Amino acid sequence: MKFCSDCGSLGLNVEMDAHGTALRYRCGRCQATHYRNPRLVAVCLAEWQGQVLLCRRGIEPGHGLWTLPGGYVEAGEPLQAAAARETMKEARAVVDELVLYRVYNLPKFNEVVAVFRGTLREGRFAVGEETLEASLWSKRDLPWDALAFEYSRAALHDFAMQRWQSVYASPVQDLVWLQPSVPKPSAGAAARPVTAPREPLRRRAAPESAQA
């Protein structure tokens, strides 16, 4: 934060709050206090017949890598609605019976990621906005070397291990080991095109018109 969004003053001070628990930006001119809260991200783990829907990103960060469809929650928007909206945007898919699956705290990015599980309606999807490709992946065939985000890796790991059936798997987890940069595919992954079709394990998205 470089200036006060209330009065435009550049005279911002960083002060400890009254409880001694958090640093606040406080304007020296108008005395406004500015809070810095985590950004919320809502993500879908959409299943169809034991497979999970992944999108290959068409934008940075993580261009060309696979991830669960998702994105930032808008102001006033319910979490699950944001997960459904982003899945429709990126994969042209409707997901039914959304239930909260995992929550990841990402303090390095000042973000909190909520992952919802649900069922892909009629198994239908297509390539949407900001997406190069959309595919269904079996648990045995997930693209571990070409995932965009650490929260995708964590959620897919639990999905692959079927850990949602365990009472010991906490639904809220800290991803404190995250590096600030997006991991790139390893040399081995680069040598093996991640887009290589492996039918029939993976069902690939047809153009949207063919899905309708």
Residue with tokens 């009629």: 122
Structure tokens at 55: 């999108």
CA angle 100–169–148, rounded 5-degree value:
65
Judged by CB under 5 A, the stretch of 26-34, 43-51, 183-191, 192-200 that binds Zn ion is 26-34
Select from 1, 16, 23, 30 the one that contacts Zn ion (CB under 5 A).
Answer: 30
Beta partners for residue 47, in sequence order: 52, 119
The string over 110-123, giving b where at least 16 C-beta atoms fall within 10 Å of a residue's C-beta and e elsewhere, is ebbbbbbbbebeeb
4 counts as binding Zn ion under rule CB under 5 A: yes
Nearer to Zn ion, 1 or 7 (CB): 7
Judged by CB under 5 A, the stretch of 23-31, 35-43, 112-120, 131-139 that binds Zn ion is 23-31
15 counts as binding Zn ion under rule CB under 5 A: no
Nearer to Zn ion, 34 or 204 (CB): 34
Structural contact between residues 30 and 47, judged by C-beta atoms closer than 8 angstroms: no
Number of H helices, E strands in the chain: 4, 12
Judged by CB under 5 A, the stretch of 3-11, 36-44, 67-75, 175-183 that binds Zn ion is 3-11
Least distance CB 21 / Zn ion (angstroms): 23
Q: Pick the closest to residue 118 from 144, 169, 65, 79 (CA basis).
A: 79
Q: How many CB atoms lie within 10 A of CB 101?
A: 19
Least distance CB 17 / Zn ion (angstroms): 17
Least distance CB 22 / Zn ion (angstroms): 19
Least distance CB 7 / Zn ion (angstroms): 3
Angstrom distance (rounded) from CA 209 to CA 117: 26
27 counts as binding Zn ion under rule CB under 5 A: yes
Least distance CB 25 / Zn ion (angstroms): 10
Residues that bind Zn ion (CB under 5 A): 4, 6-7, 9, 27, 29-30, 32
